[in-house]
A and B are shown apart, each in its own frame.
Chain A
Amino acid sequence: MSKYKAVIGLEMHCELKSNSKVFSSAKNAYSDIPNSYVSPVDLGFPGILPTVNKESVREALMMALAFNCETPEYMYFDRKNYYYPDLPKGYQITQMHSPVGVNGKIVINLGDSEKEVLIHDIHLEEDTASLDHYSDATLINYNRAGVPLLELVTEPCLNSPEEAVAFLEYVRRCYQYCDVSDADTKMGQIRCDVNVSIMADGDSHLGTKVEIKNVNSFSNVYDTIAYEIARQTKLKDEGRYDEVEQETRRFDEETGTTIRMRSKVDAIDYKYFVEPNIPKYKISKDWLEEIKKSIPMLPRERKLKYINDYGLSLYDANIIIKDKDYANYFEECIQLGMDPKTVANYLTVQIIAYLNKEDITLKDFYLKPEYLKQIITEVNNGNISSKQAKEIFNKSLEEKKEPKTFITKDNAQISDAGELTKIITDILANNQEQIDAYHNGKSNLFDYFVGQVMKETRGKANPNIVKEILNDKLK
């Protein structure tokens, strides 16, 4: 790793879910048909006015509160003015003076350690149109124009690409847990701007900050930061640090490098000023309270709970909180009285494997918690073996029938000690030779006897009880 300390700040833009757009009532949804979800407002026709969507504000406030931000008494918006073909009005409505949240913090886990990431602000704004570039022309599709965007800006307090990506992963998960966004990077729902500078140990002030705009996947964020640190380090080592300029660059996926877009002298002055068409909105205490109450438990808190209260391993807890659906499934099972470790085992092994194999999500998974409970209860009561449980699990999924359909008298486990003793006695009587060998030290013959019992009972004998009786008899 570099001998310099990297200082990284992130701006993370995430599209929010809602029925309508943030400043217009056009539908907020993805469509393959260009220009199918647009209103005159999104197209910037003369005379249009923005109207703020309550749901978008609620979602933004929810995340501001979830990330421990201060919220303003009055919320209002600003215009960011610049000319670009993807910006129909010639300005983007955003929040500069009074964002929905400021001075927040998010604690993330990095392996075994924790890190507190400081949030400068979190604000609500509108997305731009999307441009499709062809060899001779660019086509503009306005479906995305006006889609609500939540922008989260960190303080420059991250120090490695690993930290940056861990942070982004965590924030994305929080959005999903709070159900404000699908936060799907493949759909372009998350885009990041990255600031990187380096400083030597003894340096008292930050190095020259380079901004890399519009990095659209987490792996690209990683590569961007790694590349920039290497680039800046090399220049510093060669005594050419003055060549590191305060500038805006972009990440080039093909070469894995960053390329200069413009220097600070050419920086755009966005001429921010308050959007006069959106009056100051007083955020009532009651509404804030209501939003606060509706925030679900976030992944990090859940993880701690799973480990401390339910005794899960860190490994299992990490797998479960990775996906909101896993965590909710797990918690529903606990609610139904199932044993946390057993559920965790099912979830992290069989269920996830099945989902991956079938390429489906938990929403489409047939074995709802109450069905899983049918299987686990039968195992716990000793009525079926774990092998049978597995079969029933698969059968139930295959035929989309409740597990109890497959738990019949016929396949019920034999747990009756008397019955098993009788069977074992018969088997031992016919295997005197093996008993002698066992007593002479061939201890692995114990499994031979268990196998004989299973063979006799066609696998229905309760193995634990069988072992107990055998131990007793073979003493």
Chain B
Amino acid sequence: MSKFTKEMVQNYANKLLINLSDEENALVLEEFDVIDHNMELITKIPNIEMVEPMTHTLDDFTYELRSDVATPSPSIEEILQNCDKYEDREVVVPKVVGGD
């Protein structure tokens, strides 16, 4: 019995602002089971919890932070050239209600 449900998958999809068809949803469920099975195996690797997760590709890396110099901005025409809805110099979206 899978610990994953259709509703769960739909909920995750909604939070990502995407809709899944029933067929797509079913495929995700199958894939979850495979991944979950394999991750179960990983948890059995001895002392796995002692390993520091690898978050960056090159560990031995040193670099300089960017010096604080401002560069010119693109023109407003360039900024908005790929935008379908704008008014004067600003991007327009349907009215935002509440929120952060």
Contact = CB atoms under 8 A, between A and B. Distances in A.
Interface of A: 18-20, 25-28, 33-40, 43, 51-57, 76, 83-85, 131-142, 213-214, 250, 261, 269, 273-274, 276, 279-282
B44 to A, nearest CB: 24
Given A20-B68, A43-B79, A138-B96, A280 B91 contact: no
Contacts of A131: 96
A228 B88 CA distance: 41
Interface stretch (B2-10, B21-29, B30-38, B59-67): B59-67
A250 to B, nearest CB: 8
Contacts of A54: 64-68
Contact of A281 (B63, B67, B73): B63
Nearest to B91: A140
A139 B76 contact: no
A85 to B, nearest CB: 5
Query: Most chain-A Cβ atoms within 10 A of its Cβ — which of B17, B74, B79?
Result: B79
Interface of B: 15, 17, 55-59, 61-71, 73-74, 76, 79-80, 87-96, 98-100
Nearest to B55: A274
Nearest to A40: B74
B68 A26 contact: no
Contacts of A136: 95
Given A43-B79, A133-B96, A135-B95, A19 B90 contact: no
Contact of B65 (A57, A137, A138): A57
B61 to A, nearest CB: 5
B38 to A, nearest CB: 20
A267 to B, nearest CB: 12
A264 to B, nearest CB: 16
B56 A20 contact: no
B71 A83 contact: no
A23 B58 CA distance: 21
Contacts of B67: 54-55
A137 B62 contact: no
A56 B62 CA distance: 19
List the 9 closest pairs (A to B, CB-CB), nearest first: A54-B65, A55-B68, A274-B55, A139-B90, A27-B70, A140-B91, A20-B70, A25-B71, A138-B96
Contact of A261 (B15, B73, B80, B98): B98
Contacts of A43: 79
A56 B92 CA distance: 31
16 contacts: A25-B69, A26-B70, A27-B70, A27-B73, A28-B70, A35-B89, A36-B73, A43-B79, A52-B66, A57-B65, A139-B87, A139-B90, A140-B92, A141-B89, A142-B91, A273-B55
B99 to A, nearest CB: 6
Given A25-B70, A137-B92, 8 more contacts: A19-B70, A26-B70, A85-B96, A131-B96, A140-B93, A250-B98, A274-B56, A279-B63
A467 to B, nearest CB: 62
Nearest to B82: A45
B57 to A, nearest CB: 7
A214 B91 CA distance: 23
Contact of A214 (B17, B55, B96, B100): B100
Nearest to A141: B90
A35 B92 CA distance: 13
A37 B65 CA distance: 21
A466 B59 CA distance: 83
A251 to B, nearest CB: 13
A131 to B, nearest CB: 6
Contacts of A40: 74
Contacts of B88: 34
A121 B87 CA distance: 40
Contact of A280 (B61, B65, B74): B61
A140 B90 contact: yes
Contact of A18 (B61, B64, B68, B71): B68
Contacts of B55: 76, 273-274, 276
B90 A132 contact: yes
A246 B62 CA distance: 43
A131 B98 CA distance: 12
Nearest to A277: B56
Query: Most chain-B Cβ atoms within 10 A of its Cβ — which of A52, A56, A132, A138?
Result: A138
